[in-house]
Structure 1
Amino acid sequence: MRLFLASYRFGKHADRLAALVGAPGRVAVIPNACDAWPAAWSSAVTSDLVPLRKLGYAPEVLDLREYVGRAADLERRLAEFPLLWVRGGNTFVLRAQFARSGADLALARLLAADALVYAGYSAGACLLTPDLHGLESMDDPREVPPTCGVEPRWDGLNLVERRIIPHIDSPTDPDGFGNRLAADYRAAGIPHWALTDDEVVVVDGDRVELLR
């Protein structure tokens, strides 16, 4: 299993993503964490396509909403790409869209077969953790029913062993929600990674690294 989990895009470690993937090539960009914000959806997508292209990748948008009820088609489509790029937004909305489309089960199978690399930042990183409890202080679960037509889920994909808190000491979190959540996790003894926007967690087979 190969994972690149960041607080914000590549952090300071775009080279490590390239090392995981090999030569830059096609990448499926999954923007569904932004589904609750239709007015900002296109600009959010563009904001990820541009930096990926600058690094030599060939990004293609893959909208999970188009695959609801078509899980087998989605798994075949995901398997075409050496890299998935899952951007930030609302973690609860992203979790719901992964479940509705069957991407959660497909991704687990593809990663177990080492068929692709998963790169996610912010919500895209938090999605892979054991559960989402505490993230409601940063993301609003109430956006899930009107956006996805289902109730929010509190389980993550459980592909890494710790929770992730993004945007520590970051201007993208001016109210300090991430710092307070990290303090709560520490007080409760909950294993977690609290990531600044420079930091990345890399999983490569059995090896797990926190890159600062």
Structure 2
Amino acid sequence: MKFYLSSLKIGDKPKDLLKLVGKNKKAAYISNALDYTTDLDRRRFMENKDMGELRNTGFEVEKIELRQFFYKEKELEEKLKNFGLIWVRGGNEFVLRQAMRLSGLENILKKFQKEKTNIVYGGYGAGITIIGPTLKGIELIEDIEQKPYPVLRYTIWEGIGLIDYQIVPHHDKENPGVSGMNELIEYYEENEIKYKTLKDGEVIIIK
């Protein structure tokens, strides 16, 4: 599995994303990091904007609703095997983490990585912060009390663990106070957690 990790939206390297994905331009779009919101009109607007950007880049996009796959991990795995790109948008990390556990996506991604499946995992915001080793510290910038799924009411602190460091998105290196990420960076440094920062537009590509 390969990675295209963006701070915001697709970022500044859409051509590199297309090249990384290769021939299979089918993209699975996952927006469950927004499951906390009750403003459904705004949610649809944001989702349509994301999917439009992916289509304009050259992808055939299908929205995958993880809630339809809760406790159906095998079905989700078979579904995702058809795609060249899994794209996970931002939102609330803790909510997204819950959805990944209930659907089994956490296990599927680990399996794809172990088997070196020719699929690209991409995304931005919460979609990339979640794949590191831990979610500890994220509570400084995100609402930990959001628990929209009645079947899971506890906080998951473990990241997916696909990479061995944390990513801090939306970081303005010239004006570090603007992004609101200073507290998170201080937490990582105090607790000796490896991290990399990205300002909006920047991406990390792992082949």
TM > 0.5 between the two?
A: yes
Q: Is the 8 A contact 1:24 1:56 kept in 2?
A: no
Q: Is the 8 A contact 1:34 1:44 kept in 2?
A: no
Structure 2 match to 1:190: 193
CA RMSD of aligned residues (A): 1.8
Structure 2 match to 1:107: 109
Structure 1 match to 2:13: 13
1:1-212 aligned at under 5 Å gives the runs 1-23=1-23, 25-39=25-39, 40-113=42-115, 114-144=117-147, 147-149=148-150, 150=152, 151-169=154-172, 176-204=179-207
- Distance apart, 1:174 and its partner CA: 7.9
Taking only the aligned residue pairs, the percentage that are identical comes to 32
Letter paired with 1:135: I
Q: Is the 8 A contact 2:10 2:123 kept in 1?
A: no
Distance in 2 of aligned mates of 1:175 and 1:66:
38
TM-score (norm 2): 0.90
- Distance apart, 1:175 and its partner CA: 5.7
Distance in 2 of aligned mates of 1:69 and 1:185:
33
- Distance apart, 1:38 and its partner CA: 3.4
**Number of residue pairs matched by the alignment:** 200
> What is the DSSP-based 3-state SS (H/G/I as helix, E as strand, rest coil) of the residue aligned with 2:5?
strand
TM-score (norm 1): 0.88
Distance in 2 of aligned mates of 1:71 and 1:185:
33
Is the strand fraction higher in 1 or 2?
Answer: 1
Q: Any stretches of 5+ residues in structure 2 without a counterpart?
A: none
Q: How far does the alpha carbon of each residue in 1:50-98 deviate from its partner, in whole angstroms, 9 at most, with x for none?
A: 1111111111000000001211111100111111000000011000000
> What is the DSSP-based 3-state SS (H/G/I as helix, E as strand, rest coil) of the residue aligned with 2:170?
strand
- Distance apart, 1:141 and its partner CA: 1.4
> What is the DSSP-based 3-state SS (H/G/I as helix, E as strand, rest coil) of the residue aligned with 2:76?
helix
Distance in 2 of aligned mates of 1:70 and 1:186:
39
Letter paired with 2:136: H
> What is the DSSP-based 3-state SS (H/G/I as helix, E as strand, rest coil) of the residue aligned with 2:20?
helix
Letter paired with 2:47: V
